[in-house]
Structure 1
């Protein structure tokens, strides 16, 4: 057994991954903390809907904009430095937000939070090939995302409790302290690779432009980008900004019930993450088909809720939340495309490209929804209620546009990817043809 093989799946591997995932969980807590404080932020900053959306948009712009640079830097500097540096930035960002009393100061804080968050997930995914065997990676990718989503529970339950009991500043300072723990984990436990493994040449002197060009030339990277774009953005829109106001003000759900519905995202990730990971590993040639099924379900559920006469019943809202939440595990399929289509020294860059997708779509959608809500309120006149059901129907319907764009991108990039695979001897038959052939053989 080679030195590289000897260290795969070892106890040290699990320690390194565990520390990195803990840092990612903390990053998700920082990311989602503003979404559950939307009503308090409206009062603290005297903000309109579009200004409130701007907080999330700034964070998402920074996150999405840094994914490619972060991917390149992970390939150059290694995951440990990026995870630790990201945690430090989030300490600064949440500390600034805790003290902020104006919109400008608050936006600066969210800028740093977005930058630190951007450095974390890509780095954790980049660690996996160095420490684990290839057959474990699809499942570990899902479990990484699943554990990370537990950060939503930290923001939904203890953070909201702190916010209501001790106020804005104390609650956000507690989040800053949590990121200090993430930085310590990165320094003490995370390692880029086993000591016996030499640093890969691609990590020593990479050229950023060459890394990015090589990643984008791979059709699997583009397919991963559009898969992530389409499956994940509704989850971000719902969790980061508009889910809670939509449920409480639009659908008339009690705040406690809305919090319970939001917490379902974690439960769904725990249940469906391993299932999606197992399906991805077992049927690698049908990964895009699985993603299309999830996208279709999300679109159908949104259509039912938005066109339901009056407020949708609670059971339908539960189904909607489950469908949206499955988009999180499904978005991890995009990273599996990046891993399998790119050489090891370029996985960080390709992962960064893929991770741009869902956040790019989300930041556009979050802002446009806020803009539509403001336009409707202005048309209704001064003093009109801000978040009405009809206003939300128009605003949330915008989501169908990026869904359509993403599906088109997936279809085009999948065609190119399958042509590349065919040239290498792997023919992917249409699903119905493959199923008919299997029935005949059985």
Structure 2
């Protein structure tokens, strides 16, 4: 039975994206209990900041190695291990009695999380045709945004019922069960049904592969394309959107959180709609260029209006920025279309590194800008005003990257496996 013609591929899709939903929720869920962690463990705000960023640092650092390993040894094993590690890390986090235990838990969670996207892209590429892939990668991206959404009110209610330790422990157990489920769905059942036995492929030496990677213009175009789109959203909305709404507009924390919600709603819609449009047009670059132009104009609007657009426009801008971020899954549709399948993993990892590198850099740079002007409230607003030059620069880098993408001309000289 061929993978891309079997009904079983939809079970694979459902199992993988459900695991992604749970894993992505654990990227931001600890933010719900910041005050409790500070009180229970008597730690400083800087320690909390490091605890929050350590998962993203581990995730970013492992993207290229994960891509290489997935190409060489297959994505199934790493995704199974990733789900188990994320579950184990979440359980350890819930049982922690010292801040060092919390760090171990988050490092394990970040290590597991680093496996999900690259391997999911490869698995979907194996089980679905190229046209199906463009559409489904958008749905997979939407699932990640649903995970972020789940880590707001729903998980907060779960914490209120079980307490923070019980809530995180239960999610950890569920993730471990997902790892077991993935073993049966990705390995055991396909092997018993003899679904499209993978071909043995001769891989080039690691040094040659890395040398060719860093000299490949298409790979760098995708790196910068993802850098400009992901970091400006995750880096700003994930870190500074709520303080920005409170300090500049005088909103309550709940009111400022609605800005984040608008971005999430935009991302939920942007991922499937843009991937569906690209699939219908049978073109990726043209709609993706439009996305990058729009998000650049949005951040430029903040800058031109000195960081203080009218409140009604503010919500619209956050929605559009989130919508454009949702379209970032098109980066991997380009990888699927223009690179041979035996190196899709390392290229996907390289591109994803660009996105999350910017997500790590932007909050810190933006914070340094605010610290420079934070002498009183008036100067703090000035800091936000000048700070928006950073996402403008990042988005322009992304626009340059997408303009340099070649949708045709990079032959897929290896068959899909």
TM-score (normalizing by structure 2): 0.84
Check the 8 A contact 1:220/1:338 in 2, yes or no: no
* Alpha-carbon shift at residue 323 of structure 1 (Å): 1.8
Q: CA deviation at 1:360?
A: 0.8
> Match of 1:317?
314
Q: Which residue of 2 aligns with 1:54?
A: 50
* Aligned equivalents of 1:105, 1:373: Cα separation in 2: 32
Offset at residue 396 of structure 1 (A):
4.6
Query: 1:228 maps to which residue?
Result: 226
Superposed displacement of residue 69, structure 1: 0.8
Q: CA deviation at 1:136?
A: 0.8
Displacement after TM superposition at 1:39 (Å): 5.8
Matched, 1:403 2:399: no
Paired position in structure 1 for 2:106:
110
| Alignment correspondent of 1:122 | 118
Asked if the contact 2:130/2:336 (under 8 Å) is kept, the reply is no
| Cα gap change, 1:283 to 1:206, in 2 (>3 Å) | same
Secondary structure at the aligned position of 2:78 is classed as: helix
Counterparts of 1:237-276 in structure 2 under 5 Å?
237-276=235-274
1:175 aligns with 2:174: no
Q: How does 1:16-415 map to 2 (within 5 A)?
A: 16-37=12-33, 46-48=43-45, 52-100=48-96, 104-163=100-159, 167-191=163-187, 195-202=194-201, 207-216=205-214, 218-285=216-283, 287-305=284-302, 308=305, 312-377=309-374, 380=375, 388-411=380-403, 413-414=404-405
Give how far 1:54 is off: 3.2
Distance in 2 (alpha carbons) for counterparts of 1:28 and 1:185: 18
Alpha-carbon distance in structure 1 between the residues aligned to 2:7 and 2:339: 27
Secondary structure, aligned partner of 1:135: helix
Provide closer, same or farther for how the CA distance between residues 371 and 171 of structure 1 changes in structure 2, counting only shifts above 3 A. Answer: farther
SS of the equivalent of 1:201 reads coil
Q: Which runs of 5+ in 2 are unaligned?
A: none
Indicate the residue corresponding to 1:440 in structure 2.
Answer: none
Report the Cα distance in structure 2 between the residues aligned to 1:389 and 1:172, rounded to whole angstroms: 37
Q: Which moved more, 1:15-24 or 1:333-342?
A: 333-342
Distance 1:358 1:86 in 2: 20
Change (3 A) 1:373 1:310: closer
CA contact (8 A) 1:76 1:206 kept: no
Q: What is the deviation of 1:15? A: 0.3
Question: How far 1:313 moved relative to its partner?
Answer: 4.0
Q: Which moved more, 1:388-397 or 1:67-76?
A: 388-397
Matches of 1:30 and 1:183, distance apart in 2: 15
C-alpha offsets along residues 351-408 of structure 1, whole Å, 9 cap, x if unaligned?
111111110111111222233344444xx2xxx7799544444445422232333333
Q: 1:296 to 1:134 in 2, by over 3 A?
A: closer
Report the Cα offset of residue 93 of structure 1.
2.6
The change in CA–CA distance for 1:61 and 1:68 in structure 2 (over 3 A counts) is same
Structure 1 position 164, deviation (Å): 5.3
Q: Shift of the alpha carbon at 1:85?
A: 1.1
Q: Distance in 2 between matches of 1:419 and 1:279?
A: 18
Distance 1:107 1:388, change over 3 A: farther
Tell me the number of residue pairs that the alignment of Structure 1 and Structure 2 aligns. Answer: 408
Instruction: Describe the SS at the equivalent of 1:189.
Output: helix
Structure 2 CA distance for partners of 1:404 and 1:53, relative to 1, 3 Å: farther
Per-residue CA deviations over 1:291-312 (Å, capped at 9, x if unaligned) read 3322332233334345547854
